[in-house]
Amino acid sequence: MKYNIPADVPKNKEETYKKNLKSATNATNHLMLFAGDQKVEHLNNDFYGKDIPLEDNSPEHLFKIASRAKIGVFATQFGLISRYGRDYKNIPYLVKLNSKTNLVPYDKQDPYSKAWLSVGDVVAFAKESKLDIKGVGYTVYLVGAYEHEMLTQAASIVHEAHKNGLLAVLWIYPKGRFVKDEHDGHLIAGAAGVGAALGADFVKLKVPYDKKGKFNPKLLREATMAAGRTGVLCEGGAKTDEKEFLTQLYEQIHKGGSRGNGTGRNIHQRPLQEAVKMANAVYAITSQNATVKEALKLL
């Protein structure tokens, strides 16, 4: 398979970059990202409550899933990787560099999520700890008083990642006072284009809805085309029915042109064994070219 290597990956890091991209995508260029950064983004809402198994309340649940299931990368904060990494050395990690809480509504104050640590910190950490860190992630909120800071950090993080042969994934969400519909397909295509202009390898986006609030894979094509060589990952969202989830995932890729997904709650809000199976099913569709039917057999 031919990889599109960004021009800012230096010669002596090309092999590292290719190896990271190949192993993270199972040589399909499609990425299954297991999203585990919600301990900050949603505080404890996603991990404790009605219909959530108690074991999900422990951060270790995420690491158990990530180490036993087939996944592309497990995206979570540096601190959690640091605390559990020595016992979970087989996980392919992606360090999510920024996070914010959900305490302030987006329309009350423009959101700003700042990088907690630098790419250089991650590179030094990977070298010292020998953990398998394949890339870094960063969220950009398009809007308002801090957009410029996040765009600048994102551009710098992508570039620094590439200079070190790492993958760079951006979460890009238009938000706040001036955004009427976060699921508008044209707006999401705009975010996709921003991800491309920032040089990201993958950009995680909201899923576009039609006027009735339904996902329609055709709407997604504007975004996946606008993203160019940057792969679009669709947000997993709140937990739903397995078949519905996997069918939609399949359509995102095969009809909408996405190149993967970022799934959290639909995996970790289950007992360990079920969660591992669900992750495997998501991986099968994303990075093993499975059909929905084949994937459902894994559950």
Kindly list the catalytic residues: 173, 204
Subset of 76-95 contacting a second copy (CB under 8 A): 76-86
Cα–Cα distances (Å) from 131 to 49, 59, 86, 176, 297, in that order, read: 32, 18, 8, 37, 32
**Which structure tokens are listed for 143?**
């809007």
The residue within the footprint of a second copy, chosen from 91, 94, 158, 207 (CB under 8 A), is 158
Interface with a second copy (CB under 8 A), residue from 16, 23, 129, 216: 129
Of the candidates 107, 120, 210, 228, which one interacts with a second copy according to CB under 8 A?
A: 228
With beta carbons less than 8 A apart as the criterion, state whether 161 and 170 touch. no
Other Cβ atoms closer than 10 A to 102: 13
Least distance CB 162 / a second copy (angstroms) = 7
Decide whether 29 or 280 has the Cβ nearer to a second copy. 29
Do 226 and 193 contact (CB within 8 A), yes or no?
A: yes
CB of 9 to a second copy, least distance (A): 8
Select the residue interacting with a second copy from 27, 210, 225, 291 (CB under 8 A).
225
Separation between Cα atoms, residue 166 and residue 70, nearest integer Å: 20
Give me the least distance between CB of 244 and a second copy, in Å please. Answer: 28
Q: Residue 124 Cβ, how far from a second copy at the closest point, in Å?
A: 9
Radius of gyration of the chain (CA): 18
Q: Residue 205's CB: how many other CB atoms inside 10 A?
A: 28
Q: Taking CB under 8 A as the rule, does residue 27 contact a second copy? A: no
- Phi-psi bin for 27: left (phi > 0), alpha (psi -120 to 50), beta? left
The stretch among 64-72, 145-153, 247-255, 279-287 that binds a second copy (CB under 8 A) is 145-153
Tell me the residue type at 150.
M
Q: How many residues bind a second copy (CB under 8 A)?
A: 90
**In the structure encoding, which two tokens stand for residue 227, read together?**
């993203």
Residues between 37 and 56 that touch a second copy (CB under 8 A): 37, 39-40, 43-45, 47-49, 54
**Would you say the C-alpha torsion 261, 224, 97, 288 has a positive or negative sign?**
positive
- Give, as ranges, the residues between 179 and 218 that touch a second copy (CB under 8 A): 179, 186-187, 189-194, 196-200
The interface region with a second copy, picked from 112-120, 210-218, 259-267, 291-299 by CB under 8 A, is 112-120
Q: Is there binding between residue 139 and a second copy (CB under 8 A)?
A: no
3-state secondary structure of 41: helix
Asked if 245 touches a second copy (CB under 8 A), the answer is: no
Which lies closer to a second copy via its Cβ, residue 64 or residue 239? 64
